[in-house]
Amino acid sequence: MDIENLKSHVHDIPDFPKEGIVFKDIAPLLASAKARNAATKLLAKPFMNQQVDYVVGMEARGFLFGSLLADVLDAGFVMVRKPNKLPGSLVTQEYQLEYGTDAIEMQLSAIPDGATVLIHDDVLATGGTAAATARLIKKAGGSIIGASFLIELDFLNGRAALDGIDTYAVLHY
């Protein structure tokens, strides 16, 4: 399946979740077995010849392709979640939003010291979420080998926030 066909499975939703924002809706991409499969293969491609111990996916849409990607790469899958969702000993990372701060958490024992980790989320926008995830993984002792996204909003230059991390996206807007 070519890139234009894949893109036809991502729908633009104007004024969601707020006025003035055009939301990229990946629901049609998930709903099509062919498109989902093609997107997963393209996500995995840059990492096929690398040792990936864990894919770390961000709540909530990062869980979807993140676990499909982990399957193809024969890697473990680890969840990064919003506060108060995960049990046990946690690592926490705060990050800046446009107004105020937010935080994400991961289970401390999820990533053994020195394990190789690939970050995954559905969309790279400003890069704030992915940069906070990278700090979380470093705190836990993981070694980041790259970051992969289904969609990159190029005009927001989020990859600048991921300085030094190999960053890939299947679809660019």
Distance CA 61, CA 50 (A): 24
Q: Are 121 and 130 in contact (CB under 8 A)?
A: yes
Question: Reduced to 3 states, what is the DSSP secondary structure of residue 105?
Answer: strand
With helix as H, strand as E and coil as C, how does 125-160 read? CCCHHHHHHHHHHHHHCCEEEEEEEEEECHHHCHHH
| Sole window of 72-80, 81-89, 124-132, 133-141 interacting with ligand 5GP (rule: CB under 6 A) | 124-132
Q: Select which of 59, 61, 81, 135 is catalytic.
A: 61
Q: Which residue in 121, 159, 168, 169 binds ligand 5GP (CB under 6 A)?
A: 121
DSSP 10: S
127 binds ligand 5GP (CB under 6 A): yes
Helix (H) or strand (E) holding 41: helix 33-44
Site for ligand 5GP, residues 6 to 45, rule: CB under 6 A: 23-24, 26
| Sole window of 37-45, 68-76, 80-88, 125-133 interacting with ligand 5GP (rule: CB under 6 A) | 125-133
| Sole window of 43-51, 73-81, 100-108, 127-135 interacting with ligand 5GP (rule: CB under 6 A) | 127-135
Is residue 36 among the annotated active site residues?
no
Q: Is 84 exposed, middle or buried (0-12, 13-18, 19+ CB in 10 A)?
A: exposed
Q: And the tokens for 133?
A: 């995830």
Q: Are 147 and 167 in contact (CB under 8 A)?
A: yes
Shortest distance in whole angstroms from residue 94 CB to ligand 5GP: 13
Minimum CB distance to ligand 5GP smaller for 43 or for 130: 130
Is residue 59 among the annotated active site residues?
no
129 binds ligand 5GP (CB under 6 A): yes
Distance CA 71, CA 84 (A): 27
Shortest distance in whole angstroms from residue 28 CB to ligand 5GP: 12
122 binds ligand 5GP (CB under 6 A): yes
- Residues of the shown chain interacting with ligand 5GP in the complex, contacts defined by CB under 6 A: 23-24, 26, 58, 61, 121-130, 158
Known catalytic residues are: 61, 98
